[in-house]
Amino acid sequence: MISIKGLYKQFGDLEVLKGINIEVEKGKVVVVIGPSGSGKTTMLRCLNVLETPTNGLISIEGQNLDFSHAVSKKNIASFRRLTGMVFQNYNLFPHKTALENVMEGPVIVKNEGKEAARKKAVALLEKVGLGEKQDYYPAQLSGGQQQRVGIARALAMEPEVMLFDEPTSALDPELVGEVLKVMKDLAQEGMTMIVVTHEMRFAREAADEVIFMDQGVIVERNKPEEIFNHPKEERTKKFLNMIQ
């Protein structure tokens, strides 16, 4: 369903992604782990085309973008709609309520009617446990609640794939669980997900596959029990020893 082939990304002289290949089947959860600076976030942002890859082919549900040549803005816009992105720092609009944040994309980008968008947004906020908070502004919500609004907002665009970029890294420890719970529920409903995270418990419990990245390449990929219990590569072993 998702295919990334030969993905390269360079910032100036710095080559951050050096030929990444990933395939994800529909309904699967892939967790990406690795040291800071290894290119995990950049890989996700390339998939959402928030960064333009230097080269490579990305494909989701039969839509392709081939960065070996120039890609039109129109194709990028249509491709971007296939993915919903959840950011480390929530990226909510501060002057809009939770409900307005969730409605914004469908109304502005997809031209959905306001009433239909509102209904859907209310249902999504209920789904993430925030039915009571729909009229609150981000500043009136805890980090965990804001991130759950972030997830509802991404879901409102009805993406094929959800991309999570360290969604719990900015949270106080006691708020991490409520966000991971929403993510686990989504996974169980069959959402296709790529999750960059340091939450190894989530990786163990929810991932179908774990990918270990280091210095812009994929070093090792396997089922979570294999990666965590029997890592094959030295670099994986070293990383796991450092964090566990």
Stretch that binds ligand ADP, among 39-47, 124-132, 176-184, 230-238 (CB under 6 A): 39-47
Binding ligand ADP (rule: CB under 6 A), the pick from 7, 8, 20, 38 is 38
- Residues in a beta bridge with 65: 58
Give the C-alpha separation, 82 to 71, whole Å. 16
Pairing of strands 55-60, 2-11: antiparallel
Q: Which is closer to ligand ADP, CB of 32 or CB of 130?
A: 32
Count of CB atoms situated within 10 Å of the CB of 104: 18
Near ligand ADP by CB under 6 A: residue from 8, 33, 40, 128? 40
Query: Of 24, 42, 53, 106, which one interacts with ligand ADP (CB under 6 A)?
Result: 42
SS3 223: coil
If binding means CB under 6 A, how many residues of this protein chain bind ligand ADP? 11
In the complex with ligand ADP, the residue whose CB is nearer, 37 or 131, is 37
Taking the CA of residue 70 as centre, how many other CA atoms within 13 Å lie in the half-sphere pointing to its CB?
3
Residue 52 CB, nearest distance to ligand ADP (Å)?
A: 11
Q: Minimum distance between the CB of residue 165 and ligand ADP, rounded to whole angstroms?
A: 8
Q: 5, 42, 37: which is closest to 22 by C-alpha?
A: 5
Rounded Cα distance, 198 and 35, in Å:
9
Q: Does 93 bind ligand ADP (CB under 6 A)?
A: no
Of residues 16, 99, 156, 157, which one binds ligand ADP by CB under 6 A? 16
* Neighbouring C-beta atoms of residue 225, cutoff 10 Å: 11
Query: Taking CB under 6 A as the rule, does residue 211 contact ligand ADP?
Result: no
> How far is the C-alpha of 87 from the C-alpha of 214, rounded, in Å?
21
Q: Does 39 bind ligand ADP (CB under 6 A)?
A: yes
Closest among 86, 91, 89, 54 to 71, alpha carbons compared: 54
Contacting residue, 37, 113, 131, 190, with ligand ADP by CB under 6 A: 37
Interface ranges with ligand ADP (CB under 6 A): 11, 14, 16, 34, 36-42
